[in-house]
Structure 1
Amino acid sequence: MTRWPLAIWLLLPVAGAVNSATAQPYNAETTYRKLVAAYPYIRIASSTAPAPVRVCKDIVYARRGELSLALDLYSPGPRDQAAPIVVLVHGGGWRSGDRSEMAPLAVRLAARGYAAATVSYRLSGQARYPAAIDDVKEALRWLHAHPEVHGADVDRMVIAGGSAGGQIATLVGMTSPGAVQAVINIDGLSDFTSEEARRHEDDPSKNPSAAGAWFGGRYSEQPARWQQASPINHVSRASPPVLFIVSSVPRFSVGREAMTAKLHEHGVVAKTVALPGTPHSFWLFDPWVTPTVDAMTGFMERVFGGSPGG
């Protein structure tokens, strides 16, 4: 693995990843233990970057009081033309997880010629909705303002995320369409207010549910937040193209079909790639990382009219 030049390091402040104290943190290791009995052939995907991929970690993009929010950059290495950049948003039910979850996707995208940035944001135990949305938008602004640091083409920027990160990425893409040229939602919700979503996310036996903790109340208590956080409610003719990559567990991508229809009504490209037989969180594991990256790069090649070097 090669590293960024020392001169670049000297320009950048360093901060650790943001975490939230939870009894059962969301990461590849804890998820593996849940899945391995049903899927004994899975392996946690490696986040080791192959040469000539360059990695620069712990770059502070914003400060919220005493809290530093950071991102990690992955570059495809020396090239004649600036690469498109994919901003990756981690999952964890809005209350757990960290950006290291997205490193396996980031290194594989960089190996295929795309720059990538994995970003931290405030979790629900640190700040409720819309803090996470504001943070990810701030990360986009930072990347747009500092092309000299990452060397990527900000006019070819994609936002992607998995699970809760897929919902966040899609909401950010729908509410700030000029900032990104495409959205990739990996098994994330598109509509919190649908009957199916509320059956899981507004379950009174969960006190609170993951969504309820983020919104600061159940649907009956905070209906405006549940509606505002639903990407489907922000679709317009200005919306960027969207790719949905979904598992075989439909509850995690609720709202996708209705949102796809709404995007099509506005003349916006929306595609779905389903990975049969996969559990939720499939993008953290082999053998599913490669088809996930295949779907992502194929979609981006269509959006940008060719390969990242084209």
Structure 2
Amino acid sequence: MIADLAYREVRGWHGAIDLYVPEGPGPHPVLIYFHGGGWRMGSKASAAQHAGAWNAMGLAVAAPAYRLAGAAPAPAAADDALAALEWVREHGTGHGLDAGRIVAAGHSAGGLLALATAYRAADPPAAVVAWNAQCDLARYREERLTAGDPVAWLEEADDPEGVALSLSPLHAVRPGLPPTLLVHSDRDPRAPYRDAVLLEQALVASGVPAELVTMCSDGHLTAEHPPAEVARGHDRTRLFLGWQGVLNAPASPAQKSLHMTTR
């Protein structure tokens, strides 16, 4: 692991990236992993628990830090995520990474950042993989306000409603977006499964290759899911990225355009 490579400095905040590069000759396709934590906690170090599975697929992992609510309100974290993508494109080759095969990925709040990054980038990644992500940030914000538990990262922004809409994956759907894999538990208590279903349906209707992998679980965090469901999510990730040409796997035209909900 290569730790703390500087990728951005904003108003005294120093953003760093950790790299987990598999053995063997490169360049390696790279998965940029955005950690979860409700945009108020967590760290890039959490990528270590997943990096082994992704390295085994042949993916390098780039895990960036981003500004949390205590450091800067939305959309700061999303802007940092875009900057991390740009850094990997510009500097990744020097670390054995393939800048032409980049995947934006994340879990929970990080899954939202992965989707927002892929859908906002002028030069988008080859694919996006989001586990238990907030797929409709605008509705999530409204539900949290109604429950009396506002999302500080959003409510401290200059225009909370506008920012929530601009970063909401469901409101950003249009033709030409990167192929999208959603992995979501059917009874997630924090990120509504319903919104993952709606996002997958909207992407398919717009002609975007998309798949929703439904885990049979009432958990939200990876450790809360049955291990077999997590393993199935990783298996579908490997297949999906193979079909999209990110990983070295044969794929027919029909497979590349696959969209389906799998259980």
Instruction: Work out whether the TM-score is over 0.5.
Output: yes
* Deviation for aligned residue 1:113: 1.2
Computed over aligned residues only, the root mean square deviation of the Cα atoms, in angstroms, reads 2.4
The alignment status of 1:297 with 2:238, answered yes or no, reads yes
Shift of residue 201 of structure 1?
2.2
Q: Deviations over 1:202-251 (max 9, x none)?
A: 23422xx2x2x111259xx7321221121111112120011110123345
**Matched AA of 1:159:** A
Partners of 1:305 and 1:140 in 2: how far apart? 16
State percent identity of aligned pairs.
29
Which residue is 2:85 aligned to? 140
Partner residue, 1:268? 208
Name the SS of the counterpart of 1:95 in structure 2. coil
Hey, what's the Cα distance between the residues in 1 that align with 2:226 and 2:28?
A: 26
Q: 1:160/1:248 Cα in 2 relative to 1: closer, same or farther (>3 Å)? A: same
Matches of 1:305 and 1:136, distance apart in 2: 20
Cα distance in 2 for residues equivalent to 1:144 and 1:239: 18
Pick the aligned partner of 1:130 from 54, 70, 75: 75
Q: For residues 107 and 193 of structure 1, do their structure 2 counterparts lie closer, same or farther at Cα, with a shift above 3 Å needed?
A: same
> Are positions 1:216 and 2:155 aligned together?
yes
For residues 150-204 of structure 1, the C-alpha deviation after alignment (integer angstroms, 9 at most, x for no partner) is 211111110000000001110111111623011111001111233xx35642234
Counterpart of 1:9? none
Aligned to 2:178, the other structure's residue is in SS state coil
1:201 alignment counterpart = 144
After TM superposition, give the deviation of residue 308 of structure 1 in Å: 6.8
Structure 1 segment 1-310 matched on structure 2, within 5 A: 55-79=1-25, 81-176=26-121, 178-194=123-139, 197-198=140-141, 200-206=143-149, 209=150, 211=151, 213-216=152-155, 222-250=160-188, 251-253=190-192, 254-282=194-222, 287=227, 289-304=230-245, 307=248
CA contact (8 A) 2:7 2:17 kept: yes
Q: Offset at 1:305?
A: 6.8
The answer to whether the 8 Å contact 1:106/1:117 transfers is no
Contact map agreement 1:113 1:309 (CA 8 A) in 2: no
Q: Which moved more, 1:172-181 or 1:245-254?
A: 245-254
Does the CA-based 8 Å contact 1:192-1:201 persist in structure 2? no
Q: Which secondary structure state, in structure 1, belongs to the residue aligned with residue 104 of structure 2?
A: strand
Supply the distance in 2 between the matched residues of 1:99 and 1:286 (Cα, whole angstroms).
Answer: 24
Asked whether the equivalents of residues 156 and 181 of structure 1 are also in contact (C-alpha less than 8 Å), the reply is: yes
Unaligned runs of 5+ in 1: 1-54
Distance 1:108 1:162 in 2: 15
Q: Following the alignment from structure 1 to structure 2, what is the Cα–Cα distance between the partners of residues 61 and 271?
A: 31
Aligned-partner residue type, residue 214 of structure 1: W
Deviation of the 1:99 alpha carbon? 1.0
Q: Deviations over 1:249-303 (max 9, x none)?
A: 3451452222222211221111011121251012687825533322221211111
1:74-112, CA deviations, whole angstroms, 9 ceiling, x for partnerless residues?
A: 111122x52211000000001011111122212221122
| TM, length-normalised to structure 1 | 0.73
Aligned to 2:254: none
Cα separation, partners in 2 of 1:308 and 1:146, compared to 1, 3 Å: farther
Structure of greater Rg: 1
Task: Return the alpha-carbon distance in structure 1 between the equivalents of residues 225 and 17 of structure 2.
Answer: 22
Secondary structure of the corresponding residue to residue 178 of structure 1: coil
3-state secondary structure, aligned to 1:123: coil
Q: What letter corresponds to residue 265 of structure 1 in structure 2?
A: A
Whether the 8 Å CA contact 2:243–2:249 is kept in 1: the answer is no
Alignment check: 8 A CA contact 2:22 2:55 kept: yes
